[in-house]
Structure 1
């Protein structure tokens, strides 16, 4: 232990209760030898037990400052030898000669505050932490022993309470040993509850500070920055695993303090995953967010936090189950962008035509990669076709509802003016039908270029196509003509016009002689 090997009392070669004049004398001796480049050894160096102390001008000056105040003197005295009785003197003589067993035997012969301190310090040197804690805490919590110890080290003017001295000891032990191990040692030693409570608070305090600091960092990240939120969630998870594990092992899952820390951490990790998913445009965002959400669910303890985490995990699981195969993510993304555009810009037959035209390449790519019988391909293809068919039905039905109703008594019973008004309305309606029906037929023919499942084709597409054809006939529209022209883009139609015109001119050149 550093507080033993580098103990200021050891550096000066004195006991913790040695007179100040002994310290001054040894300090002067060290300075004098250092001036001529020589080193000094003292009997209390105990080189057979502890590595040699580092004595430099700086370390000596520092050591001197460390034991000027009573509070600091007592702290270091808890970890160094004290000579009060003749038995102490004999035992410490054996110790300086390397006979640790004889020294230990004498320390145990008669219990005094000094023998307990010396026994505890020797036990720490030999890494017998349990014996050290039992011996030294006995001095701390025995009123007579504690008062005698404080007076021996600092004189009768120093007043230090039982709790203050106990905390001095615990704080130094925590600097040397893992908190979990130390808590178990204290429990096994059967010391007072106040020590256990203080040790618990100190042990969990540091990891709680670390976790709260990392949560604050994650909260400071912009919510709409998907990549930054994902990175914040990963960093938060990684940097808090060890501190959270330490708190869990010290307090247990049922401890309210642990539950509060764990739930706060889980909620922030969960939020990072939610913010990432909501703002990410990556097709695999659900897959990437899932480890964050699952870890949040894993560490959450309270019912509210756990239920919220569980709900979000279930949502992502459902989304992941509906994700397309990885090889068609780009095509799927293209289709979904067009669907969003179709929805945002206002649905219509013309919008449906643009939708199918813009999605045709992506649909063909998906079919070639997955096959016409693939479930996902059938679903996405049918979705597009169903949305297109719904627009045909909606617009055509809307126009049909505008049709002027035939007179109740018959057209011939209307006055001339009423007949004229009726005919004008009917003609206007027919003109509207002549605009809508060709567009609807063009969309029908475009739909035929997509793969349809048998049920959709027989129950939805063909019956509506037949009805549309009947309407075209009733309006004297030649579906074969306008559908062909409308199925061509404006550029291709212009190309065909140029070709036909050229052929006609060639024909004329042969006819005119």
Structure 2
């Protein structure tokens, strides 16, 4: 560790507690050796701890750090001092002889029971320094060495013998407290660990939290501010990256989770999960990671890339971090919605397969809305749509609600066009006065009803919603009934209505008219002469009716004549 290996006391080759005169004499002698390019005489630089790179400039820098008490105390906390000559001098000799095992035997024996006394106080500090130097790597892990060093140093700094140590290292005018010395030691150590990555900050904190010392609470409070600021910085950087490119939100979210995990773990171990500072920063972190997942999902959900699982991974990470009710609820709601979307994948795949057919059907509906409502257009709409409907049925199945809905919509549009034209023709027939026009309209109505029944037959074979099928059946029955009625009306040669009789009696279904129709069908229509009479009658009677329809007296005469004729044929 640099705090030990490049300690100012080591550079100048002195122990903590050397007087100002000893310091001046040592620095002068050291510079002379360096200037003469001669190896310095044996001092307290302890080469067994590692090579010491010394030149005049480095010596001057080290000397300057031993002038002010505040700098001297920092250096002293990470170096050796002679507190008990009986035990410390043999230990220093062993270090110079590179016999570190002997050093451990001497100082470990003194510190084994964990109780500090005047006799062994320096052994706690010196052995702590030796562990912190890192030269004992072969005997244990870095973390174990650091833990041993910190434990020994803090026990020493917690003891009453720290006063004697301070007196050795600084002038009498320098005032400090046990807590201040502990904080100086730990802050220097923390800074060194962060620079060298000797161990992680989390592991360092774990070591500290296991110790008992006066400045523990103060150190931990100061320790949390830096990781909080670092996490907030990471969150803001992630937010900027996410907004700049939503397609990269997944990577941003994962990096944010990974980058902040150590600091968050650190804060949790210091503050605890119920601490307001911890819950606040954890919820902010959760919210940003969740938003990364949301933005990634929104960007890719309508593309060929399936974002479901990747976004869900970020949602789960966010939920692990959420502490507050609002943060937890937001994670749960988004997780639930996303899971529903993931579970609905088979249905979405089906929808994708029918997308073109669905669009073609809706385009047809839009196209035919601008067309005239005729039976022909209804028939053509059906013919065009049935191909697409068949494809939809093959993918979704004949019981699928979407398929049945589309099928019903097409059927409804086609039926509506047929009904519209039939109604228009009936309206024209009702308002027509000219018999020839009526005859022409009857013929056209018959043709359109037949065509409508063909369309209706196609509709009947389709998969329809139940409420529409009821309307369809009603419409079909109406068409059949209308066809039957029209078949009773002759438009030029076949059996149908009696125009003059209807005019005379004022009703097509009058009993007397019905008798005449029956006579026509049962008698006249069965002989050549009768058929000729029917043909001639229907050729001239419409014009005759047109002329006589308002002649009341003539109509009475006709009715009386027909009454007499009916008596004869009964």
The TM-score range, normalised by the shorter chain, is 0.5 to 0.7
The correspondence of residues 39-54 of structure 1 with structure 2, limited to 5 A, is 39-40=39-40, 42-48=42-48, 50-54=49-53
Determine the C-alpha separation between the residues in 2 that align with 1:360 and 1:91: 102
CA deviations on 1:359-402 (whole Å, 9 max, x unpaired) are 977984x87xxxx37669945544543554566689999x79x9
Q: What's the CA shift for 1:223? A: 4.5
Q: What's the CA shift for 1:25? A: 4.0
> What does residue 171 of structure 1 align with?
187
CA deviations on 1:416-460 (whole Å, 9 max, x unpaired) are 9xx9xxxxxxx9xx99xx9xx99xx69x97x99xxx9x8x34847
> What does residue 81 of structure 1 align with?
80
Query: Which of 236, 240, 243 is 1:220 aligned to?
Result: 240
- Asked whether 1:195 is paired with 2:212, we answer no
The correspondence of residues 1-400 of structure 1 with structure 2, limited to 5 A, is 1-35=1-35, 37-40=37-40, 42-48=42-48, 50-56=49-55, 59-84=58-83, 86-87=85-86, 90-96=89-95, 97=97, 98=99, 99-100=102-103, 101-102=105-106, 105=109, 110-111=118-119, 114-125=122-133, 126=136, 128-129=145-146, 132-142=149-159, 144-174=160-190, 175-176=192-193, 177-192=199-214, 194-199=215-220, 201-202=222-223, 204-221=224-241, 223=243, 225-280=245-300, 281-282=302-303, 284-324=306-346, 331=353, 349=369, 364=391, 372=394, 378=400, 381-382=403-404, 384-386=406-408, 388=410
> What does residue 484 of structure 1 align with?
none
Q: What's the CA shift for 1:316? A: 0.8
Determine the C-alpha separation between the residues in 2 that align with 1:39 and 1:356: 107
Q: What's the CA shift for 1:303? A: 2.1
Evaluate the alpha carbon distance shift between residue 11 and residue 222 of structure 1 in structure 2; reply closer, same or farther with a 3 A threshold.
closer
Evaluate the alpha carbon distance shift between residue 13 and residue 275 of structure 1 in structure 2; reply closer, same or farther with a 3 A threshold.
same
Gaps of 5+ in 1: 420-426, 477-513
Evaluate the alpha carbon distance shift between residue 278 and residue 133 of structure 1 in structure 2; reply closer, same or farther with a 3 A threshold.
closer
The correspondence of residues 466-485 of structure 1 with structure 2, limited to 5 A, is none
Gaps of 5+ in 2: 137-143, 194-198, 372-377, 434-440, 484-570
Q: Is the Cα–Cα contact under 8 Å of residues 112 and 145 in structure 1 kept in the other structure?
A: no
CA deviations on 1:69-114 (whole Å, 9 max, x unpaired) are 3222211211101135544653454444433123555687744754
Evaluate the alpha carbon distance shift between residue 239 and residue 79 of structure 1 in structure 2; reply closer, same or farther with a 3 A threshold.
same
Determine the C-alpha separation between the residues in 2 that align with 1:355 and 1:82: 103
Determine the C-alpha separation between the residues in 2 that align with 1:359 and 1:206: 69
> How many residues in Structure 1 have an aligned counterpart in Structure 2?
435
Evaluate the alpha carbon distance shift between residue 355 and residue 470 of structure 1 in structure 2; reply closer, same or farther with a 3 A threshold.
closer
Q: Is the Cα–Cα contact under 8 Å of residues 398 and 404 in structure 2 kept in the other structure?
A: no
Q: Is the Cα–Cα contact under 8 Å of residues 404 and 465 in structure 2 kept in the other structure?
A: no
CA deviations on 1:470-506 (whole Å, 9 max, x unpaired) are 7888999xxxxxxxxxxxxxxxxxxxxxxxxxxxxxx
Determine the C-alpha separation between the residues in 2 that align with 1:390 and 1:21: 111
CA RMSD of aligned residues (A): 5.1
Evaluate the alpha carbon distance shift between residue 298 and residue 110 of structure 1 in structure 2; reply closer, same or farther with a 3 A threshold.
closer
Q: Is the Cα–Cα contact under 8 Å of residues 224 and 279 in structure 1 kept in the other structure?
A: no
Determine the C-alpha separation between the residues in 2 that align with 1:213 and 1:359: 60
Evaluate the alpha carbon distance shift between residue 157 and residue 322 of structure 1 in structure 2; reply closer, same or farther with a 3 A threshold.
same
CA deviations on 1:25-48 (whole Å, 9 max, x unpaired) are 444444444445554364323334
Q: What's the CA shift for 1:321? A: 1.6
Larger radius of gyration between Structure 1 and Structure 2: 2
The correspondence of residues 419-434 of structure 1 with structure 2, limited to 5 A, is none
> What does residue 516 of structure 2 align with?
none
Determine the C-alpha separation between the residues in 2 that align with 1:376 and 1:94: 96
Q: What's the CA shift for 1:267? A: 1.1
TM-score by length of 2: 0.60
> What does residue 494 of structure 2 align with?
none
